Amino acid sequence: MDKREKLLQTALELFVSRGFNDTPTSKIAKAAGIATGTLFYFFPTKDELIVSLYLKLKAQAAESIHLALTGAKSTKQVIKAYYEESLKWSLRNPNEFSFLAQFSNSPYLKKIGGHEISVQTAPVLQLFRSAIGEQQVADIDVDLLYALISNQVFGVNQYLSSNEFTADEQQKIIEHTFSLFWKMIESRT
């Protein structure tokens, strides 16, 4: 692992356990066994470190989700695969998911440019537009649909993470909660 990756991994662990405000860059550098000057070489400010980590984790999650979508044929199957893999990725990567949730509820979110956010959300929004066009999903603002699915993933993740379930039980809960989500958004025409 190179120094930049070591800093990102250490920062992830400390931000999740201590929060953004209680994690000075000096602590990150020390825990990583890397000089503070080296940290600032890669990340001139703490804000840039936090944003870089966010973008890295979002890219990892997006890659995993994209791979899960490859076998889906219908729009509903694609939305289900998106939902399921979002949850499975969050369960496989609890620190990463916790960081993303912390970031999304912090002032740091405003440091992400509108273009970057639209790049991240565009595929899902297009998926919902297609579903609306095919009259599979109710004609609802796609940004609201994105908020609904994102919050559902977050809530179900919290439920699954706070209880001890077998892999089969988790899968049944994921399928059941998708069914509930689909009933909420499906077109009634």
CATH, residue 26: 1.10.10.60
| pLDDT per residue as tens digits for the range 11-62 | 999 999 999 999 999 999 999 999 999 999 999 999 999 999 999 999 999 8
Q: CATH number for the domain including 101?
A: 1.10.357.10
Are 161 and 85 in a shared domain?
yes
What is the end-to-end Cα distance of the chain in Å, rounded?
A: 54
Are 38 and 57 in a shared domain?
no
Are 22 and 110 in a shared domain?
no
- Tally the domains of the chain: 2
* DSSP H or E stretch at residue 93: none
Residue 69: the pLDDT is 86
Distances (CA, A) of 135 to 39, 64, 128, 169: 51, 28, 10, 32
Across 170-179, average pLDDT: 97
Burial of 105 by CB count in 10 Å (0-12 exposed, 13-18 middle, 19+ buried)?
exposed
Domain closes at, from 29, 44, 59: 44
Are 159 and 112 in a shared domain?
yes
Domain ranges, residue 130:
51-185
Residue 78 phi, psi dihedral angles, 5° rounding: -65, -45
Percent of residues, the chain, with pLDDT higher than 90: 80
pLDDT band at 122 (very low <50, low <70, confident <90, very high): confident
pLDDT band at 113 (very low <50, low <70, confident <90, very high): confident
Sign for the CA dihedral angle at 164, 178, 150, 7 comes to: positive
Are 119 and 160 in a shared domain?
yes
